């Protein structure tokens, strides 16, 4: 109104980005390296939701406390026991890898969390989580989760050749990196092959497993493919550079997004961080594992990585080192630019 004094609106405090992982058995180190990669590059505050066997809880608490305060102030962590709200807990635990089915229950357990990024333990972030978190804004009114295709080429994809159950799209989707709007998942009635009416997420899980358990190979990922086969309008598909696996380079380079933009999230499935089948993946894992937190990123991370990559050029994935280096180089440059701006601002040197 004329003459009325206007007050600038205060910006709401930035909420943290929620990251969930499930760790059982010998996955302690792998999980910690994944969390380290998340903290190294991300801008906004992170909330870790770690689902772990009871024996691993004190180890996680101890190791995370050992990180320098300049990094521990960038996140908060919550550690939960492995629990399954419906069906037989022992059956769920044995589905595919130990405890992997826990991810299916995240919408039920994390009732106060609106949105969440779930990743497998064998994932490494090569750019800020902020960038994949922004994809939540791309969801249309019916989409409630996002995943990458299992493969880019149907004739060499697993689902298109071997699946004995329904799956999403032409090649299925890979659930190792899964962005979720949990609020929408909790409030949606899902179409299914069980009854004519819709079912809630929790109502659907165990009956769906019972129906298809003799036909699924990849456990909870297969169940997610079945769910989104019947509800394709609920899924946002993001490109392969957000879930880059050995399959994208071991049969020749077949992830165009990574070729153009670089790998954003590396997914070292099939244990490739710990054997010599894919030395390029192993090199990235070892360099991030060995990086001293407060050292110079270029000196102690980027240059050792370049050096290790020289030993992998004879391999199918090693022939395209720029695909692995492009995003990580871009991210490090941004980190340094931000630090310079903060330093100049603090010292009033304009």
Q: Is the pLDDT of residue 109 over 80?
A: yes
Pair (73, 213) in one structural domain: yes
**282 in the same domain as 205:** no
Q: Which of 196, 212, 238 is the last residue of a domain?
A: 238
* Residue ranges making up the domain that contains 261: 241-345
| 134 and 78 part of one domain | yes
pLDDT on residue 226: 95
With helix as H, strand as E and coil as C, how does the chain read? Answer: CCCCCCCCCCCCCCCCEEEEEEECCCCHHHHHHHHHHHHHHCCCCEEEEEEECHHHHHHHHHHHHCCCHHHHCCEEEEEECCCCCCCCHHHHHHCCCCCHHHHHHHHHHCCCCCEEEEECCCEEECCCHHHHHHHHHHCCCCCCEEEEECCCCHHHCHHHHHCCCCCCCCCCEEEEEEEEEHHHHHHCCECCCCCCCCECHHHHHHHHHHHHCCCCCCCHHHHHHHHHHHCHHHEEECCHHHCECHHHCECECCCHHHHHHCCCEEECCCCCCCCCCCHHHHHHHHHHHHCCCCCCHHHHHHHHHHHHHHCCCCCCCCCCHHHHHHHHHHHHHHHHHHHHHHHHHHHCCC
- Pair (107, 171) in one structural domain: yes
Q: What is the pLDDT of residues 304-333, one digit of tens each?
A: 999 999 999 999 999 999 999 999 999 988
Decide if 184 is inside a domain. Answer: yes
- Provide, rounded to the nearest whole percent, the portion of the chain with pLDDT above 70: 92
246 and 318 co-located in one domain = yes
| 223 in the same domain as 257 | no
* 155: in domain: yes
- In a domain? residue 5: no
Q: Residue 64: inside a domain, yes or no?
A: yes
Question: Do 276 and 227 have their domain in common?
Answer: no
Model's pTM, two decimal places?
0.91
Residue 96 is predicted with a pLDDT of: 61
- Tell me the average pLDDT across 77-93: 84
User: Is the residue at 232 inside a domain?
Assistant: yes
Q: Has residue 107 been placed in a domain?
A: yes
Top pLDDT among 217 and 308 is at: 308
What is the pLDDT confidence band of residue 346, given thresholds at 50, 70 and 90?
low
Does 230 share its domain with 299? no
Q: Which of 209, 238, 267 is the last residue of a domain?
A: 238
Looking up residue 63, the CATH number of its domain turns out to be 3.90.550.10
**246 and 215 within one domain:** no
Predicted confidence at residue 7, as pLDDT, reads: 37
Residue 55 lies in a domain: yes
Residue 2 lies in a domain: no
143 and 253 inside one domain: no
pLDDT at 156: 77
Predicted local confidence at residue 62, as pLDDT: 97
Per-residue pLDDT of 150-200, as tens digits, reads 988 877 778 888 788 998 999 999 999 999 999 999 999 999 999 999 999
Span 117-130, average pLDDT: 97
- Into how many domains does the chain fold? 2
Q: Among 62-71, 95-104, 261-270, 324-333, whose mean pLDDT is lowest?
A: 95-104
> Do residues 169 and 215 share a domain?
yes
Mean per-residue pLDDT over the chain, rounded: 90
Domain boundary among the residues 196, 222, 238 is at 238
Judge if 42 and 148 occupy the same domain: yes
């Amino acid at each position: 109104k004329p003459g009325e004094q206007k007050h600038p609106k205060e910006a709401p405090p930035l909420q943290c980005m929620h990251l969930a992982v499930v760790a059982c058995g010998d996955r302690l180190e792998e999980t910690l390296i994944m969390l380290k990669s998340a903290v190294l590059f991300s801008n906004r505050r992170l909330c870790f939701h770690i689902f772990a066997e009871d024996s691993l809880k004190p180890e996680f608490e101890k190791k995370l406390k050992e990180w320098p305060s300049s990094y521990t102030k960038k996140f908060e962590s919550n550690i939960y026991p492995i629990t399954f709200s419906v069906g037989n807990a022992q059956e769920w635990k044995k589905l595919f890898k130990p405890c992997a089915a826990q991810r299916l229950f995240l919408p039920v357990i994390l009732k106060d969390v609106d949105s969440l990024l779930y990743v497998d333990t064998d994932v490494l972030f090569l750019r800020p989580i902020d960038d994949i978190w922004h994809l939540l804004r791309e969801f249309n009114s019916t989409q409630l989760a996002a995943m990458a295709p299992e493969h880019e080429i149907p004739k060499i994809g697993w689902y298109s050749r071997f699946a004995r159950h329904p799956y999403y799209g032409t090649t299925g989707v890979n659930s190792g990196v899964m962005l979720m709007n949990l609020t929408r998942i909790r409030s949606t009635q899902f179409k299914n092959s069980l009854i004519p009416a819709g079912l809630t997420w929790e109502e659907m899980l165990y009956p769906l497993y019972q129906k298809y358990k003799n036909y699924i190979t990849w456990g909870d990922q297969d169940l997610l493919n079945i769910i989104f086969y019947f509800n394709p309008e609920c899924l946002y598909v993001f490109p392969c550079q957000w879930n880059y696996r050995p399959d994208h380079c071991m049969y020749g380079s077949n992830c165009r997004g990574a070729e153009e933009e670089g790998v954003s999230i590396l997914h070292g499935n099939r244990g490739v961080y710990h054997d010599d089948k894919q030395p390029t993946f192993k090199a990235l894992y070892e360099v991030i594992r060995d990086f001293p937190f407060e050292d110079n990123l270029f000196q102690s991370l980027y240059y050792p990585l370049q050096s290790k990559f020289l030993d992998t050029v004879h391999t199918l994935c090693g022939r395209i080192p720029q695909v692995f280096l492009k995003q990580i180089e871009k991210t490090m440059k941004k980190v340094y630019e931000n630090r310079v701006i903060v330093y100049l601002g603090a010292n009033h040197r304009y």
